[in-house]
């Protein structure tokens, strides 16, 4: 009899997953034509990663191992981080998502770091920095007898470099900027993103110390330390600083906080260096020049008949650890310093996604105590099996080179292959591919509306909810639309109470439960847990303060919060007196007569650079003054051209109806889109912003008064690529429809 051979699984994807794969992951030719299927992508990755076994065993059956790696990816049971899916088996070969670079206190060191950042972002990675070594603003610079411009000034240099590099990549560069709470510039750092118009390529977090937190508890002052000489440079009241952090986070979600002493308490190689920073989403503390390779197990595939399948989970954990250790080996590192530091510690970060899906399959509400208990049990299992798998590898391949002197060595433990094993990362795009919930987050929504081309409305429904609704006979399109409008199914009479209880969304859960869940997973995670604590728009500053205190007392390593709507609106500054003098009564408004257009008008055309190409803005005047505006895009057609034409028509109507030109400028300037152009004062944020600038130029050139810029918040309410809902999770904003992420 012929031996039966198993057929490789054919991956099944949702429409959204296929869209994300085609846009960001699948190999293309120079003309942009897709050259591989998703199955080919998994095969490419599996073969490239399995080939590392030859380095340790010339007789290794890499074909068999590659088949196993392919199977767990094709079945969507495990996926590595995005750079591995994109680049394994291809020329670039850079497979890491996370890097930390040092920033020294000299011009040479600072601009070396800028150069290294550009190289990492070009290769698809994100970078974390501590700016705590930089001397404060206005401090002395002995070599030039000048004064220092301070950390925040140099952060802007990194921000501009990131802005430049990301415009040509498939994966946006992102940064984490951290400053110690005892740095003399800490108050300026806390406020550096207050207007949301700068440092938009940075997440920022304040590095809190145990000394500071004790001072907060006791309402005491604490010392500020000048990093140039280590001397005390002043004092601040700890509670006032803490309250400023909390207030600013309440305002717009930043800064986050990390507990530096806890990161170093769990630093496995203190003899190699001190941890000062994390990757952009905060879950991966790293030494300077260190990188980490991440991957996530899809827990939605780890249940069988309403029960946890522990045997299957063990098998996938061991394969995933083997996979990630091989990634360390075959990776092409962007810098020799990163190569040496990463191979010295061989850190990997095995995490999870689909936690909310698993709870639904097991019939456990996310906000139930049983969920917290299971979280601890599950993560302890993954931790123990992951460490066991790493020790098995160490028997064959040896421990990580810096093992001697490490915490494992000092505790007398058996050799281990990887300095860290577990990390819980946000899984924005790979969870779309896997059709799973993200990381350890709850469901964002049970149902939501998606608007596509030609104004068609599609209702997206959680697949498990739709399946149950159809089976139990309460499914209807009208109900799904109502759920999308409400954002929750709590207290909806059409839905059975037991289903309401299980399908919990992010805003159904108290902030305290978010922290309890984060702490439960953190207890058995080597690195850190990326999670966003969601607040309703009505939450108070005190509510945020309580959560920050709770994160500290429950031994979390950091926390990121997001208050609903705090970054989703444009905030226009108003001048009441001016508005009152210019506001027309209802009767006056009815009597406004639109000026008729003469046959001949005098006009000026201004060429403006935008992220969508050149925009030509023509301003025409009649005898009474400014009259109408036309726009022409350098490349005809498309959404940008049609929107610009619409702006021109509305501006013309406004002017002919008596609205002043400067009022139009006030409404258009500062509007942001996903594709800005230029830098500094010349930065054009959108086509609307370009039109405002053209009008300003016209007014200035023709005797008008130039308008003072208004402070406008960066718009983050909708995805800039597809218009879908942006979810705030893991310290980032992610669209689960098209895969857009502001962090990578």
In sequence order, which residues have a C-beta less than 8 Å from that of residue 472 and are 6 or more positions away?
496, 499
Task: Provide the token pair at 275.
Answer: 């941890």
Peptide bond into 600 cis (omega under 30): no
Q: Phi and psi dihedrals of 724, rounded to 5?
A: -75, 180
Residue 562: which H helix or E strand, with range? strand 558-563
Does 283 participate in catalysis according to the annotation?
Answer: yes
Closest C-alpha to 193, from 124, 127, 245, 271: 245
Task: Provide the token pair at 81.
Answer: 């981080």
Separation between Cα atoms, residue 701 and residue 691, nearest integer Å? 15
Tell me which of 77, 283, 290, 441 is the catalytic residue: 283
Does 281 participate in catalysis according to the annotation?
Answer: yes
In terms of DSSP bridges, do strands 175-180 and 126-130 run parallel, antiparallel, or are they unpaired? parallel
Tell me which of 16, 252, 267, 279 is the catalytic residue: 279
Task: Provide the token pair at 447.
Answer: 């149902």
Task: Provide the token pair at 585.
Answer: 């009564």
Are 528 and 285 spatial neighbours (Cβ–Cβ below 8 Å)?
yes
Are 533 and 495 spatial neighbours (Cβ–Cβ below 8 Å)?
no
**Sheet containing 625-633: which strands, arranged edge to edge?**
602-610, 613-622, 625-633
Are 293 and 419 spatial neighbours (Cβ–Cβ below 8 Å)?
no
Tell me which of 98, 192, 281, 612 is the catalytic residue: 281
Judged on CB neighbours under 10 Å (0-12, 13-18, 19+), 105 is middle
- Total length of the chain: 744
Separation between Cα atoms, residue 588 and residue 557, nearest integer Å? 60
Angle between helices 369-397 and 310-330 (to 10 degrees): 50
Closest C-alpha to 331, from 137, 55, 70: 55
Report how far apart, in Å, the C-alpha atoms of 468 and of each of 235, 361, 437, 476, 612 are. Answer: 59, 11, 17, 12, 44
Q: Phi and psi dihedrals of 611, rounded to 5?
A: -65, -15
> How many Å is the maximal CA-CA distance in the chain?
97
Residue 458: which H helix or E strand, with range? strand 457-461
| Number of Cβ atoms within 10 Å of the Cβ of 582 | 11
Are 439 and 730 spatial neighbours (Cβ–Cβ below 8 Å)?
yes
Report how far apart, in Å, the C-alpha atoms of 313 and of each of 46, 302, 359, 382, 418 are. Answer: 19, 6, 15, 8, 20
Are 274 and 264 spatial neighbours (Cβ–Cβ below 8 Å)?
yes
In terms of DSSP bridges, do strands 202-208 and 256-259 run parallel, antiparallel, or are they unpaired? parallel
Distance of CA 78 to the CA centre of its chain: 21
Judged on CB neighbours under 10 Å (0-12, 13-18, 19+), 409 is middle
The strand pairing partners of 628, in sequence order, are 620
Q: Phi and psi dihedrals of 544, rounded to 5?
A: -65, -45
Separation between Cα atoms, residue 448 and residue 459, nearest integer Å? 6
**DSSP letter (8 states) at residue 281:** T
Each as own residue / partner, the long-range contacts of residues 534-540 (CB below 8 Å, 24 or more positions apart, any chain) are 534/506, 534/507, 534/509, 534/561, 534/562, 534/564, 534/728, 535/511, 535/561, 535/562, 535/563, 535/564, 536/507, 536/563, 536/564, 537/563, 537/564, 537/565, 537/566, 539/250, 539/511, 539/563, 540/250
CA-based torsion, 98, 104, 110, 115: positive or negative: negative
The catalytic residues are 279, 281, 283
């Amino acid at each position: 009899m012929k031996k039966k051979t198993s057929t490789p699984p054919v991956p099944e994807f949702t429409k959204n997953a296929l869209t994300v794969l085609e846009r960001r992951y699948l190999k293309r030719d120079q003309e942009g034509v897709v050259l591989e299927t998703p199955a080919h992508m998994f095969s490419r990755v599996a073969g490239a990663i399995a080939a590392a076994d030859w380095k340790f065993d010339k007789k290794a059956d890499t074909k068999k191992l590659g088949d196993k790696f392919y199977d767990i990816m094709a079945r969507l049971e495990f996926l590595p981080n995005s750079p591995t899916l994109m680049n394994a088996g291809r020329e670039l070969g850079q497979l890491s998502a996370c890097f930390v670079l040092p920033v020294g206190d000299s011009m040479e060191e600072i601009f070396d770091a800028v150069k290294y950042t550009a190289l990492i972002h070009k290769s698809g990675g994100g970078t974390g920095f501590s700016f705590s070594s930089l001397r404060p603003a206005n401090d002395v610079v002995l070599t030039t007898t000048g004064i220092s411009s301070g950390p925040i000034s140099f952060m802007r240099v990194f921000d501009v470099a990131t802005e430049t590099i990301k415009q040509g990549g498939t994966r946006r560069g992102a940064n984490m900027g951290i400053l110690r709470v005892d740095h003399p510039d800490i108050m300026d750092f806390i406020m550096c993103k207050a207007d949301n118009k700068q440092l938009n390529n940075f997440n920022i977090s304040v590095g809190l110390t145990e000394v500071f937190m004790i001072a907060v508890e006791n309402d005491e002052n604490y010392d500020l330390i000048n990093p140039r000489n280590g001397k005390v440079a002043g004092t601040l009241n700890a509670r006032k600083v803490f309250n400023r952090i909390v207030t600013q986070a309440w305002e717009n979600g930043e800064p986050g906080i990390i507990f530096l002493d806890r990161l170093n308490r769990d630093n496995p190689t203190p003899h190699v260096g001190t941890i000062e920073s994390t990757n952009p989403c905060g879950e991966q503390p790293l030494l300077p020049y260190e990188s980490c390779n991440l991957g996530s197990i899809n827990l939605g595939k780890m249940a069988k008949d309403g029960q946890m399948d522990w045997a299957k989970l063990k098998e996938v954990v061991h394969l995933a650890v083997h996979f990630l250790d091989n990634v360390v080996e075959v990776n092409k590192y962007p810098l020799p310093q990163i190569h040496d530091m990463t191979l010295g510690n061989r850190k990997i970060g095995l995490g999870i996604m689909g936690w909310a899906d698993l709870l639904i399959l097991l019939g456990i509400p996310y906000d139930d105590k049983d969920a917290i208990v299971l979280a601890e049990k599950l993560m302890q299992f993954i931790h123990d099996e992951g460490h066991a798998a790493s020790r098995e590898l160490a028997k064959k391949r040896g421990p990580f080179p810096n093992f001697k002197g490490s915490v494992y060595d000092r505790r007398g433990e058996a050799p281990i292959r990887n300095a860290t094993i577990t990390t819980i990362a946000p899984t924005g795009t790979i969870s779309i591919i896997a059709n799973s919930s993200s990381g350890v987050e709850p469901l964002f929504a049970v149902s939501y509306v998606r608007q596509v081309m030609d104004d068609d409305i599609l209702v997206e429904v959680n697949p498990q909810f739709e399946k149950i609704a159809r089976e139990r006979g309460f499914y209807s399109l009208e109900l799904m639309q109502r759920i999308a409008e409400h954002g929750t199914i709590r207290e909806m009479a059409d839905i059975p109470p037991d289903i309401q209880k299980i399908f919990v969304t992010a805003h159904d859960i108290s902030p305290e439960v978010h922290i309890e869940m984060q702490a439960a997973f953190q207890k058995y995670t080597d690195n850190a847990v990326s999670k966003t604590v969601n607040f309703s728009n009505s939450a108070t500053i005190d509510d945020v303060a309580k959560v920050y205190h709770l994160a500290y007392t429950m031994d979390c390593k950091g926390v990121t919060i997001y208050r609903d709507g705090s970054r989703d609106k444009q905030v226009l500054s108003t001048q009441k007196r001016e508005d009152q003098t210019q506001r027309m009564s209802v009767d006056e408004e009815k009597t406004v007569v639109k000026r008729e257009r003469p046959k001949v008008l005098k006009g000026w055309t201004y060429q403006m650079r935008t992220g969508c190409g050149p925009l030509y803005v023509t301003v025409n005047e009649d005898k009474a003054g400014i009259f109408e505006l036309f726009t022409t895009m350098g490349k005809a057609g498309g959404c940008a051209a049609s929107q610009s034409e619409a702006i021109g028509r509305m501006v013309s109507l406004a002017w002919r109806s008596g609205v002043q030109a400067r009022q139009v400028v006030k409404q258009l300037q500062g509007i942001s889109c996903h594709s800005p152009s230029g830098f500094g004062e010349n930065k054009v944020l959108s086509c609307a912003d370009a039109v405002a600038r053209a009008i300003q130029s016209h007014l200035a050139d023709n005797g008008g008064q130039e308008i003072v810029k208004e402070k406008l918040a960066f718009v983050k309410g909708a995805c800039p690529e597809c218009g879908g809902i942006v979810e705030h999770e893991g310290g980032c904003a992610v669209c689960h429809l098209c895969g857009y992420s502001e962090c990578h």
